[in-house]
């Protein structure tokens, strides 16, 4: 900057072009309309050519003056062929070397298995990762689809846990696999803890049942009142049935715990013997028996109000036993939660198990009633009728064995499937929880 004022500008007169008038001469033009230095003349009849850049004249750029037909009207030819051009081949020659990052040993980019710089999993929706106008994008937690990490997670080949999406076919497959692997241990356990106690209670209750004698007395004397010792006989019968049922429930709890241990151990490939299973069942039977009694009381209360509440409670509390064995806390609340969280799935599985149990117990019950009909008011009065009654009860009790197996296996596999819907789990993890 200087202290001198700019030179005055001569105002344009009427009809004279101003500084901004495109018809005015170019600044620096020579008088008489000759082009200034740095401007190329155009063909006759045209205005001045384009202005040449200030500074040294580029190589190949035409000089000012009349056009030269032999000269190039612009940039001259290149100083030499482009890099990589091979005149002998009439094309581009081979590259001087591999591109940066190319590994000839791997026929690919960079070291094997190494992701590009800045690559993360799961993707965050931006580059660099986490950048962008929307920031990190949400990603579904868990392993990628079709990938099952060893030691945890969901395994489609797990022998105990039905993975989500396998459907009823996967559930049936695991039920059949549990029976196929463990029938040699499960059959004797069920015979000792389910079939035999039920047969003994049936024989005792049939021997103490006073109803045939009461019916015969009423036929002989219709006008007679209640039989002698009616109250005492009835109280004795109820006490025997209730006490026997409680005792049988405890023995059955041993069988449920022992059978669950066998199924879980064998699903993970571990050995499971009958004596070891019974020892485990004795250790866990008391707690399982207590929760089973509470569930039975709740179902009974529901039956007193109406049949439908009892059916609902039977389905909603069907997972209480496995929850106690595996989780050891809050069996009733957890069973209710599973039932309402996946109502359709659990309802369907338990309905299949319940249907098998009903068929497996009703048919033997009908056969037992038919076989013991006509043995008289006292079936143990003679050895012949006593042997017949015991044989019929024993055979029908054995016929109910499939129902016990279906209930044990079906509910256990259903519980494992419910756990898989809550979080990744496999047979090894459930075996560790069972102890």
| pLDDT at residue 179 in the model | 97
Distance separating alpha carbons of residues 70 and 101, to the nearest angstrom: 49
HEC readout, 10-33:
CCCCCCCCCCCCCCCCCCCCCHHH
Q: Which residue has the tokens 């002698």?
A: 228
- Give the three-class secondary structure for 52: coil
Residue at token pair 């389905």:
315
Cα distance between residue 323 and residue 335, in whole Å: 7
> What does the DSSP 8-state code read for residue 222?
T
97 CA to centre of own chain: 51
pLDDT for res 335: 97
pLDDT at 428: 94
pLDDT score of 101: 56
Q: Report how far residue 349's alpha carbon sits from residue 414's, in angstroms, rounded to the nearest whole number.
A: 7
In whole angstroms, give the CA distance from residue 312 to residue 322: 18
pLDDT score, position 239? 92
Residues 254, 417 contacting (CB under 8 angstroms)? no
Q: Residue 331's pLDDT is what?
A: 97
| pLDDT tens, residue order, the chain (435 aa) | 444 444 554 444 444 444 444 444 444 434 444 444 444 444 444 444 444 445 455 554 444 445 554 544 445 555 566 655 656 655 555 555 665 556 555 544 544 445 555 554 544 444 444 444 444 444 444 444 444 444 445 688 899 999 998 999 999 999 999 999 999 999 999 999 999 999 999 999 888 888 777 777 777 777 777 777 888 888 888 999 999 999 999 999 999 999 999 999 999 999 999 999 999 999 999 999 999 999 999 999 998 888 899 999 999 999 999 999 999 999 999 999 999 999 999 999 999 999 999 999 999 999 998 888 877 667 888 888 889 999 999 999 999 999 999 999 999 999 999 999 999 999 999 999 998
**How far apart are the C-alpha atoms of 195 and 275, rounded to whole Å?**
18
pLDDT of 222 = 75
Burial track 371-409 (b if 16+ CB lie within 10 A, e otherwise): bbeebeeebeeeeebbebbbebbbebbebbbbbbbbbbb
Beta-bridge partner residues of 51: 39
């Amino acid at each position: 900057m200087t202290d001198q004022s700019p030179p005055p500008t001569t105002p344009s007169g009427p009809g004279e072009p101003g500084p901004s008038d495109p018809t005015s001469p170019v600044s620096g033009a020579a008088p008489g309309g000759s082009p200034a230095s740095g401007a190329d003349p155009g063909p006759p009849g045209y205005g001045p050519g384009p202005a040449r850049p200030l500074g040294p004249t580029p190589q190949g750029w035409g000089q000012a003056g009349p056009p030269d037909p032999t000269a190039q009207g612009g940039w001259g030819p290149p100083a030499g062929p482009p890099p990589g051009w091979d005149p002998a081949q009439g094309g581009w020659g081979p590259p001087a070397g591999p591109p940066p990052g190319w590994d000839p040993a791997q026929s690919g980019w960079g070291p094997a298995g190494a992701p590009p710089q800045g690559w993360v999993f799961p993707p965050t929706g931006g580059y660099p990762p986490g950048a962008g106008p929307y920031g990190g994008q949400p990603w579904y937690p868990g392993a990628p689809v079709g990938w099952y990490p060893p030691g945890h997670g969901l395994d489609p080949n797990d022998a105990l846990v039905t993975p989500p999406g396998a459907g009823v076919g996967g559930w049936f497959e695991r039920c059949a696999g549990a029976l196929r692997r463990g029938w040699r241990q499960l059959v004797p356990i069920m015979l000792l803890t389910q079939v035999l106690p039920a047969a003994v209670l049936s024989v005792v209750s049939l021997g103490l049942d006073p109803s045939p004698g009461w019916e015969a007395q009423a036929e002989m004397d219709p006008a007679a009142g209640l039989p002698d010792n009616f109250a005492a006989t009835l109280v004795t019968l109820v006490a025997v049935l209730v006490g026997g049922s409680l005792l049988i429930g405890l023995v059955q709890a041993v069988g449920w715990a022992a059978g669950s241990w066998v199924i879980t151990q064998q699903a993970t490939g571990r050995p499971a013997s009958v004596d070891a299973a019974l020892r485990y069942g004795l250790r866990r039977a008391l707690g399982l028996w207590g929760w089973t009694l509470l569930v039975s009381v709740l179902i009974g209360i529901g039956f007193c109000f109406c049949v439908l509440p009892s059916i609902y409670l039977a389905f909603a509390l069907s997972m209480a036993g496995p929850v106690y064995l595996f989780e050891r806390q809050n069996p009733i609340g957890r069973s209710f939660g599973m039932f309402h969280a996946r109502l359709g799935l659990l309802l369907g599985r338990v309905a299949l198990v319940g249907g098998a149990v009903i068929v497996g117990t009703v048919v033997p019950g009908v056969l037992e009633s038919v076989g013991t009909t006509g043995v008289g008011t006292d079936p143990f009065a003679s050895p012949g009728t006593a042997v017949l009654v015991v044989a019929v009860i024993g055979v029908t009790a054995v016929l109910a064995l499939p129902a016990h197996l279906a209930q044990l296996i079906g509910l256990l596999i259903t519980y494992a499937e419910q756990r898989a819907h809550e979080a990744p789990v496999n047979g090894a993890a459930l075996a560790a929880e069972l102890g």
